[in-house]
Amino acid sequence: MSDQRTIHIDGEWRAAASGATREILDPADATTLAVVAEGGTQDADAAIAAARTAFDQGAWPHTPVAERAALLRRVADLLQRDRETLGLLESRDAGKTLEEGRVDVDCVSDAFRYFADLVIGEGGGRVVDAGSPDIHSVVVHEPVGVCALITPWNYPLLQASWKIAPALAAGNTFVVKPSELTPLTTVALLGLLAEAGLPSGVANLVTGPGDTVGARLAEHPGVDLVSFTGGLVSGTNVMRAAADGVKKVALELGGKNPNVVFADACTTDEGFDTAVDQALNAAFIHSGQVCSAGSRLIVEESLRERFVAELARRADLIRLGRGTDPGVECGPLVSARQLARTEEYVASALAEGAVLRAGGRRPEGPGHFYRPTVLDHCHRGMRVVREEVFGPVLTVETFRTEDEAVELANDTEYGLAGGVWSADAARARRVAGRLRHGTVWINDFHPYLPQAEWGGFGKSGIGRELGPAGLAEYRETKHVYQNLAPRPVRWFAG
């Protein structure tokens, strides 16, 4: 990608109005992967104007549901056609393994198909019984309007699809701003939307930094909804910027997610192996750069030494490298900044009394790599336990009773996701019911379903993505009350 025209406005690819560009670096070796336009407020304003015109004067908001659904299905088909290309691009851009990139493309296709099926299966509104045959009363849903979609760097294509698919299904227009670190697959997705036949102006994209482009999208009076996925500090800034316009806001702000392991889950060799394997997956998939990463292992005290010893042994065997190389299990961190942040958290944990059981260092050679790290003897007073690291760092805490396990798992300002491991089905469901997290897995970690809502409690955000509620975020609700036999009310005597 070398022509630097990565801004898409009203159906045209453009360079930044200022002419500025940004190098996109390959995190595996810090070489230049692409050069993209570095947009600014002028580009954001132009994109919003195009989306505003397409919504207020264009056909898309009034396009029959069946046609909107058909377009979403065409996009899903195009994604599968380009699966290898997009998977490779996602791997190179974000640093994840090639197989993870391919899986992401499949999940994106599933999301487009799910929202197509969801809208096509709906009726014409909810009839409300007004208690009289002379009254026809119905509740209907309409698109919100112009949506600003701000997406993160860890799952660029997936997070974009979780916003774009329901926004289009509901009949909205939008401006998407991908992370300035990993914009390439979102740029490619906009090309597929155009190829699928989406009218000009409905989908717009501005590549550029959050403190200019993102801030302008959040505050602009022409925007009706802001959907943001990213860090807590940036999310609160988005919410403040949107407040003056009383915009609809949806925020997914990450988590500090517990993975609770009861000893009875590990009484057999198979059970022990599975729980250890899943604890590795929970913490180290995509080098821990996952909002739902199970970065807090909370293990029953009687199991601790055996479990952590095996966990650490396997963590030391994880093969790091460029995500496209055969046999690689874990790629680099996305940037030098993220690597330095991870190192700082590990150093602070060790200074506060944590015991290093695995990793804790960057390997020799180029790239932003860090060994999967296991920190034992951790407690809630440590920063590494309280704050989101977004790196391959797993902390270990212990409990003796079920109540203590629940207390530890809920002792966080976040509430996105968590896992419970137990051979006692009743206990597992009981603990899951007590956890204040938006998704709870029992004897599993990480899977999600496009038909099930995704989002969190507390500082993990507000609103939901996916599922029926994910579509509802992009709609306004209207009550239409029709009097079929109007007559004078005679409230006033004259």
As given in the structure block, the two tokens for residue 407 are 């207390």
Q: What is the mean pLDDT of residues 62-79?
A: 98
Query: What is the rounded distance in angstroms from the CA atom of residue 272 to the CA atom of residue 275?
Result: 5
Parallel/antiparallel/unpaired status of strands 7-9 and 12-14: antiparallel
The pLDDT assigned to 4 comes to: 84
pLDDT at 16 over 90: yes
| Residues 330-374 pLDDT 10s | 999 999 999 999 999 999 999 999 999 999 999 999 999 999 999
H-state helical runs in 141-243 = 156-170, 184-195, 215-219, 232-243
- Per-residue pLDDT band for 494 (boundaries 50, 70, 90) equals confident
As given in the structure block, the two tokens for residue 461 are 């955000």
Name the β-bridge partners of 175. 148, 204
Report the largest interatomic distance among the alpha carbons of the chain, rounded to a whole angstrom.
92
- Per-residue pLDDT band for 123 (boundaries 50, 70, 90) equals confident
pLDDT at 51 over 70: yes
pLDDT at 259 over 80: yes
As given in the structure block, the two tokens for residue 269 are 């060799």
| Residues 414-448 pLDDT 10s | 999 999 999 999 999 999 999 999 999 999 999 99
| Three-state SS at 488 | coil
- Residue-wise DSSP of 334-350: S-HHHHHHHHHHHHHHH
Query: What is the rounded distance in angstroms from the CA atom of residue 40 to the CA atom of residue 17?
Result: 8
Amino acid at 17: A
| Three-state SS at 352 | coil
Q: For residue 65, how many other CB atoms are within 10 A of its CB?
A: 16
147 catalytic residue (yes or no): no
298 neighbors 259 (Cβ within 8 angstroms): yes
330 catalytic residue (yes or no): no
CA atoms within 13 A on the CB side of 14: 22
As given in the structure block, the two tokens for residue 104 are 């992401």
Angle at 458 between CA 455 and CA 461, to 5 degrees: 45
The residue annotated as part of the active site, out of 291, 310, 397, 473, is 291
Query: What is the rounded distance in angstroms from the CA atom of residue 440 to the CA atom of residue 448?
Result: 10
pLDDT at 1 over 80: no
As given in the structure block, the two tokens for residue 374 are 């296991």
Task: Report the mean per-residue pLDDT for the chain.
Answer: 97
Name the β-bridge partners of 146. 173
Sheet holding 146-150: strands in order across? 12-14, 7-9, 203-205, 173-177, 146-150, 225-229, 248-252, 461-462
| Residues 165-205 pLDDT 10s | 999 999 999 999 999 999 999 999 999 999 999 999 999 99
Q: Is 16 left (phi over 0), alpha (psi -120 to 50) or beta?
A: beta
| Three-state SS at 434 | helix
The residue annotated as part of the active site, out of 252, 388, 397, 453, is 252
Query: What is the rounded distance in angstroms from the CA atom of residue 157 to the CA atom of residue 102?
Result: 11
The pLDDT assigned to 493 comes to: 82
Per the document, the length of the chain is 494
Query: What is the rounded distance in angstroms from the CA atom of residue 177 to the CA atom of residue 109?
Result: 20
Query: What is the rounded distance in angstroms from the CA atom of residue 72 to the CA atom of residue 20?
Result: 33
The pLDDT assigned to 406 comes to: 98
With a pLDDT cut of 70, the percent of the chain lying above it is 99
The pLDDT assigned to 2 comes to: 55
Radius of gyration for the alpha carbons in the chain, expressed in angstroms and rounded = 24
- Per-residue pLDDT band for 3 (boundaries 50, 70, 90) equals low
pLDDT at 247 over 60: yes
| Residues 276-316 pLDDT 10s | 999 999 999 999 999 999 999 999 999 999 999 999 999 99
Q: What is the mean pLDDT of residues 454-471?
A: 97
pLDDT at 261 over 70: yes
pLDDT at 41 over 80: yes
| Three-state SS at 191 | helix
| Residues 214-246 pLDDT 10s | 999 999 999 999 999 999 999 999 999 999 999
Q: Is 197 left (phi over 0), alpha (psi -120 to 50) or beta?
A: left
